[in-house]
Amino acid sequence: MTRSWLFAGLALCLGTTASVAADTSALPVAEVAPGIYVHAGVHQEATAENQGSIANVGFIVGQKCIAVIDTGGSKAAGLRLRAAVRKVSGLPICFVINTHMHPDHVFGNAAFVDEGARDKPTVVGHAKLAAALAVRQRGYLDRIEQALGEAAAGTRVVAPTMSVGDHAEIDLGGRKLELTAWPTAHTDNDLTVFDPSTQTLWSGDLVFVERIPSIDGSLRGWLKVLAGIRQLEPARIVAGHGNAGEAWRPALARLEQYLTTVRDETRAAIKVRRTIQQAVDDVGKSERGRWQLFDDYHRRNVTAAYAELEWED
């Protein structure tokens, strides 16, 4: 698979025409702190009806410009987020920040950079984001087209034009944001955004609330990163899914409990030489009923945990 397309800033497109016009009405957003606006995604899989708008997305308004943080699961979802920005402010959108590679967070990017978008923002991501998208772009696009049908029109992968390898700072005019690229956790390309003026941390999918987390990086690494997030002591967290807000400590505790349960029970299964299928059938049963979409993701999580822990020292 060639990756040259990625660094040209555009990717394989889905069809750009549809017999039914996409809904571009503004997404509802809530101002959770001064100048910080969040749209709460639904706890569902991507469908034509929800346009892939299943993750929390939003934006931060500075004195000179605006940073959008994650863009939704389709161009249609991105257009609705862009409309929400315009209802709040006419300032230019100078940054689009992607917290990681998953489609529900990046597939709205095209709405902010394609012809018709007034602004030409810098697209920001973890230093490993471009490579991750290059590997998975065809599968992601195929699945979103199957799930959304005509509602996926115009959706494509948009590469980052600014990469963060460790820490970086961006300025919205009178409002600086601190970006941190984390070691492998939920994925190998997790990026957080911290607004010092309100002590608000945008965690992306490093934090799940209500919706079951999905392990696509490292279980052990994720637990270490969550310990690091605790040490930041933000006033509030904007999670990737669900409402953490100012009550983020118990939300993190529940997430850590799930991940720790999967880790410990998988280790125990490996120790007594249970097969991966046996582990998948038995590990983490106590967590059922505590998470939405449990049956869609839990078995995959145990599979990922088994593969990671089987050869640990």
Structural domains in the chain plus CATH codes = 7-246 (3.60.15.10)
Phi, psi of 177 (to 5 degrees): -115, 140
Q: What is the pLDDT of residue 82?
A: 97
Q: What is the pLDDT of residue 89?
A: 98
- What does each of the 313 residues of the chain score in pLDDT, given as a tens digit? 333 333 333 333 444 333 345 567 999 999 999 999 999 999 999 999 999 999 999 999 999 999 999 999 999 999 999 999 999 999 999 999 999 999 999 999 999 999 777 899 999 999 999 999 999 999 999 999 999 999 999 999 999 999 999 999 999 999 999 999 999 999 999 999 999 999 999 999 999 999 999 999 999 999 999 999 999 999 999 999 999 999 999 999 999 999 999 999 999 999 999 999 999 999 999 999 999 999 999 999 999 999 999 998 7
Q: What is the CA radius of gyration of the chain?
A: 19
Among 185, 227, 221, 189, CA closest to 206: 185
